[in-house]
Structure 1
């Protein structure tokens, strides 16, 4: 297996996990009992508002949904799309024959170039999928926070 591909995938996973934790860290809100509610009443209200916010937003920050499972693009052991090298070799052979009258050298260059391009495309696709999952998680957390704040403010608390 291509070690560079594995390293990139590992780094991308770490970034995704860090982003999820960052969402949780920025979601901190402060609740002030503006009408003199007791600490016990505040705990009860916060628990009820959490439940209501989860129902309204379909997002539970204590149990966030897993990232959507997407079928990874089929790849070879080197991280390329199957057939990329063969297609590149065919193109390279044509160009090599026309330009330098050497189809063999053109095929070799074309195969290497196509495999490199295939790896870059596969990596970019994986990153886009991870970014979309992070954005979806952030949107769910934002909706939850809005619903929770609305509930608590309706019960006489100041939420910041």
Structure 2
């Protein structure tokens, strides 16, 4: 029970961190102001050149975010598979004990519970993987912004 509570707490924490990082990324996006009389056309050209350069330097393209891992469809059948396995084991146990029907019913219940527990654990693992992928995405985005900022400042812009 403690593992389940701890896992749920970790999942909630990861969701809160995920939400917070998402907001930070939106706030951290820099903007370049022309400080040497650059025209709007020149600023657009410089922006694109720095976008290309920062993308090459970091290996990250903010216009093409990485895909997030999703929960596999295997999780959806966990309850039914667990119940089926449990009932088969229950039939065998019931046959030995003399009551096949009761053994199958008990086995199905235990198997279904096992399937639920496995599904919950798989979901927690998927949530953790998603939070880790999001954190990596944020690190990549921050590195890209740093490179882009350096490029724009080198071209005479004030970046905030």
| TM-score, length-scaled by structure 2 | 0.61
**Structure 2 partner of 1:138:** 138
- Pair 1:36–1:24, CA change in 2 (3 A): same
Deviation readout 1:22-73 (Å, 9 max, x if unpaired): 57633532212223323222222111111101101111112223336x7937
| TM-score, length-scaled by structure 1 | 0.61
Higher helix share goes to which structure? 2
- Pair 1:23–1:137, CA change in 2 (3 A): farther
Moved more, 30-39 or 139-148: 30-39
Instruction: Tell me, in whole angstroms, the C-alpha distance in 2 between the residues paired with 1:111 and 1:143.
Output: 48
Q: Which runs of 5+ in 1 are unaligned?
A: 1-14, 95-102
Q: Which runs of 5+ in 2 are unaligned?
A: 1-14, 94-101
Deviation readout 1:70-124 (Å, 9 max, x if unpaired): 793744xx53188644369969xx9xxxxxxxx8475454223212201211211
**Structure 2 partner of 1:148:** 148
Aligned length: 132
